[in-house]
């Protein structure tokens, strides 16, 4: 079994590159951010805030988050309901970042994430995969890009989908979320000491995918 851990800030291009690299390698692509989004949205729908840690912990007892994998990629289910399409809003990003700072939420998703990597070769992306979830991963990559480049890419993505995008607002929101994710007490966003740093500013998507596949072949002993 080979595990590739890809961590980095929002908008660094982790998911697009990781999904394509996993496809090339025949690995499962696991997007852990989607799990935090699903939990965050569920808690918000229950009317809870991240300040109510005990009530969140209680609510987790009745919660089942599961993933389904198909040719089209990963689907996220919350108590059996497919929420994949509804967790991509700015509110969901905020809820994910807020609730992901709670230790009970991280514990809740930890087993599920580890279990997936024990069953298949994976490329897993998130914030703490190389440091906490899969410290034994053969390949660890910390993917980053300047905040301006990340905000620019996010704007392009949204406009391509016909959505309105305000560059200044997106940049400010991204900087705020990075700060929150890097400064929390539990599992903060930071590169593992043995991670390869990959700055994607100025690189094309294909170049990033090639680097991930190349590193996996080199360090993960994959010959495919
Ligand atoms: O990767 P993303 O934007 O979908 O992640 C949403 C939020 O979830 C992110 O702001 C921080 C949190 N997250 C986390 O704390 N740990 C992970 N492994 C993945 C995401």
Cα 214 to middle of ligand 1, angstroms: 25
Distance CA 49, CA 43 (A): 7
Number of other CB atoms surrounding residue 202 within 10 Å? 9
Rounded to whole angstroms, how far apart are CA atoms 142 and 45?
A: 33
**Do 87 and 37 form a contact (C-beta atoms < 8 A)?**
yes
pLDDT for the residue numbered 71: 82
Query: Per-residue pLDDT tens for 30-43?
Result: 999 999 999 999 99
pLDDT score, position 163: 87
pLDDT band per the 50, 70, 90 thresholds, residue 224: low
The answer to whether residue 224 sits within a structural domain is no
Report CA-CA distances (Å) from 45 to 32, 138, 220: 20, 38, 41
Note the maximum CA span of the chain. 49
Which residue puts its alpha carbon closest to atom 9 of ligand 1? 97
| CATH code: domain of residue 17 | 3.40.50.300
Q: What is the pLDDT of residues 87-121, one digit of tens each?
A: 998 899 999 999 999 999 999 999 999 999 999 99
* Domains of the chain: total: 1
Q: What's the 40 CA to ligand 1 centre distance in angstroms?
A: 10
Pick the residue whose CA is nearest to atom 11 on ligand 1: 97
Does a structural domain hold residue 34? Answer: yes
Q: Over the stretch 51-88, which tens digit does the pLDDT of each residue have?
A: 999 999 999 998 999 999 988 889 999 999 999 999 99
User: Domain limits at 7?
Assistant: 3-218
Q: What number of CA atoms fall less than 13 Å from residue 180's CA on the CB side?
A: 18
4: confidence class by pLDDT, cuts 50, 70, 90? very high
Place of tokens 């905040």: 147
Residue nearest to atom 15 of ligand 1 (CA): 100
Domain-located, residue 155: yes
Asked if the structure places residue 87 within a domain, the reply is yes
Task: Say if 195 falls within a structural domain.
Answer: yes
Any domain includes 51: yes
Ligand 1 center to 123 CA (angstroms): 15
Q: Nearest to residue 3, comparing CAs of 27, 38, 31, 35? A: 27
Residues with CB under 6 A from ligand 1: 10, 32-33, 36-37, 93, 96-97, 100, 126-129, 177, 181
Q: How far is the CA of 177 from the centre of ligand 1 (A)?
A: 9
User: In the predicted model, what is the mean pLDDT of residues 8-16?
Assistant: 91
pLDDT score for 176: 92
Average pLDDT, the chain: 94
User: Percent of the chain having pLDDT more than 70?
Assistant: 100
Mean pLDDT value of segment 192-208: 95
In a domain, 75, yes or no: yes
Q: Looking at residue 40, what is its pLDDT?
A: 98
Q: How far apart are the first and last CA of the chain?
A: 13
124 vs 224: CA distance, rounded Å: 19
Q: Read off the pLDDT of each residue in 19-24 and give the average, rounded to a whole number.
A: 96
| Interval between CA 146 and ligand 1 midpoint (Å) | 18
Q: Please give the structure tokens belonging to residue 46.
A: 């229950």
The residues that bridge with 82 in the sheet, in sequence order, are 77
Test site for ligand 1: of 122, 126, 145, most ligand atoms within 8 A of the Cβ: 126
Position 223 in a domain = no
- Give the position, in ligand 1's atom list, of the atom nearest the Cα of 177: 10
CB 47, CB 62: distance < 8 Å? no
Closest ligand 1 atom, residue 93 Cα: 6
Query: What integer pLDDT is reported at residue 60 of this predicted model?
Result: 97
């Amino acid at each position: 079994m080979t595990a590739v851990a890809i961590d980095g800030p929002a908008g660094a291009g982790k998911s697009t590159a990781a999904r394509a690299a996993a496809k090339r390698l025949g690995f499962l692509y696991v997007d852990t951010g989607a799990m935090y989004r699903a939990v965050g949205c569920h808690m918000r729908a229950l009317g809870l805030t991240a300040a109510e840690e005990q009530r969140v912990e209680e609510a987790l007892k009745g919660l089942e988050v599961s993933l389904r994998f198909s040719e089209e990629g990963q689907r996220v289910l919350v108590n059996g309901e497919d929420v994949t399409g509804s967790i991509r809003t700015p509110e969901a990003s905020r809820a994910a970042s807020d609730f992901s700072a709670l230790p009970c939420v991280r514990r809740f998703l930890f087993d599920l994430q580890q279990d997936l990597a024990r069953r298949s070769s994976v490329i897993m992306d998130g914030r703490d995969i190389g440091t906490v979830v899969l410290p034994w991963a053969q390949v660890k990559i910390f993917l980053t890009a300047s905040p301006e480049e990340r905000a620019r890419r996010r704007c392009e993505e949204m406009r391509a989908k016909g959505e309105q995008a305000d560059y200044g607002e997106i940049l400010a929101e991204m900087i705020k979320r990075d700060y929150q994710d890097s400064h929390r007490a539990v599992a903060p966003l930071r590169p593992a000491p043995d991670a390869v740093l990959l700055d994607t500013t100025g690189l094309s998507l294909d170049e990033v995918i090639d680097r991930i596949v190349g590193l996996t072949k080199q360090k993960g002993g994959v010959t495919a």
